């Protein structure tokens, strides 16, 4: 019995001092899969067509992005502004392949969208003038001037 009381005191002290930390939710930001970028690159050269969203008829910028993500099981709105307003913003220094890059074209915020590849390159369906899906660089003066942010699907 003499040993039993001190043993109980030690157990009481140890269990009294030990606390289980509260589980704090850690935000997990899903990273796009490499197949998103690979599929987007496979469509390079597809024709630009306003309002279209498939390889047969062609793509506008948001139709291109929507199609690529839809093929990978992610549904996005059809217009760039709605994509920007519904997806979480990420800082430029944290951008990864598959993230979306948005631009202000003709004074309209979130009026153009592309898919980031890597090394400051992105793929997009820029315009009727260029006529096709192509890769561009964020560091060119034009795209730097019009860049308004990045989002992660």
| Residue 53, domain CATH | 3.90.1720.10
Burial of 104 (0-12, 13-18, 19+ CB in 10 A): middle
Domain coverage including residue 63: 32-151
What residues are annotated to the active site?
61, 112, 124
pLDDT 10s digits, 136-146: 999 999 999 99
Q: Report the domain count for the chain.
A: 1
In a domain, 99, yes or no: yes
Residue 147 lies in a domain: yes
| Residue 18 in domain | no
Position 20 in a domain: no
15-30: average pLDDT: 40
- Residue 25 inside a domain? The answer is no
Whole-prediction pTM:
0.79
* Tens digits of residue pLDDT in 34-53: 789 999 999 999 999 999 99
């Amino acid at each position: 019995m003499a040993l039993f009381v001190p043993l109980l005191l030690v157990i009481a002290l140890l269990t009294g001092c030990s606390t289980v930390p509260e589980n704090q939710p850690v935000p997990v930001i899903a990273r796009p899969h490499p197949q998103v970028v690979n599929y987007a690159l496979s469509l390079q050269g597809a024709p630009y067509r306003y309002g279209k969203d498939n390889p047969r008829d062609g793509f506008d910028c948001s139709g291109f992005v929507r199609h690529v993500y839809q093929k990978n099981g992610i549904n996005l709105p059809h217009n760039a502004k709605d994509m920007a307003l519904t997806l979480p913003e990420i800082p430029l220094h944290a951008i990864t392949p598959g993230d979306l890059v948005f631009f202000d074209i003709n004074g309209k915020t979130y009026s153009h969208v592309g898919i980031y590849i890597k090394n400051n390159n992105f793929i997009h369906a820029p315009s009727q003038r260029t006529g096709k899906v192509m890769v561009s660089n964020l560091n060119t003066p034009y795209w730097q001037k019009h860049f308004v942010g990045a989002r992660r699907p």
